[in-house]
Structure 1
Amino acid sequence: MPEEDFVKGFHELKTNLLKSYFNPSQDGFGESHIAKMVDSLGVDSSETSTLYQILDGALTDALYTVLLGLDGEASIGNNNQQMYKLFDEAGNELTKRGEIEGYAWEYFHNRK
């Protein structure tokens, strides 16, 4: 699997999670615990938009940081910053060239 496809999968995960939080019947997701909490707030559309932006930002920060951490460009938790070796099922190393960081920036910060 190319590095770009790996990063794209994380971005698609973020998109699908957000959909499941605000449109729980879409994309094969059942109603999640988060969707129930969002619904229980009873907020108007402006407040729902703000909540969406908050969760979108939080998921972006978390997933982007994980990707950079795997690529050795950020620390994960309180661990020292280090590069990890990550392989796909075919044995191809995804972290070999350090390209995850660039794709992560592109998918999480340049494409909206």
Structure 2
Amino acid sequence: MNTEELVKAFYTEKQDFLKKYLSENPETEVGQLIKSLNLTKEQSVIMGKVMNSTLTDVFYSILLGLEGSASIGGIQERYDLKDANGNKLNDGDIGGYAYEYFQESE
């Protein structure tokens, strides 16, 4: 795995959460809570945008925190990330890839 693949995996995870939460037949607690609101079509669109923005903020912030360009819980430092084979996952540009996937593609 490399830096871009790591960021892309986070982005894919975010998209999967959105699908699960906004599904017609949700299996997650969050999805069931959203469905229980009996939102109109317009409200459902807004809820989708709220969930998308929220998950984008969370995943983007975590990635920048791991890179060291943002804090996690008030602590800002660069973490040494490696996969099982010892490949460094943050020797590239996590922030750049995160911006590309989470900001530009939205």
Alignment of 1:92-103 (within 5 A): 92-97=87-92, 99-103=93-97
Alignment of 1:28-107 (within 5 A): 31-79=27-75, 81-97=76-92, 99-107=93-101
**Which structure is higher in RCO with an 8 Å CA cutoff and minimum separation 6?**
2
Identity over aligned pairs, percent: 37
**Once superposed, what is the RMSD of the aligned Cα atoms?**
1.2
1:21-71 deviation per Cα after TM superposition (whole angstroms, max 9, x unaligned): 11165xxxx600011101100010100110111111011001000000000
Aligned length: 106
Letter in 2 for 1:83: R
Structure 2 length as normaliser, TM-score? Answer: 0.95
DSSP-derived class of the 1:68 partner: helix
Runs (5+) with no aligned partner, structure 1:
none
Structure 1 length as normaliser, TM-score? Answer: 0.90
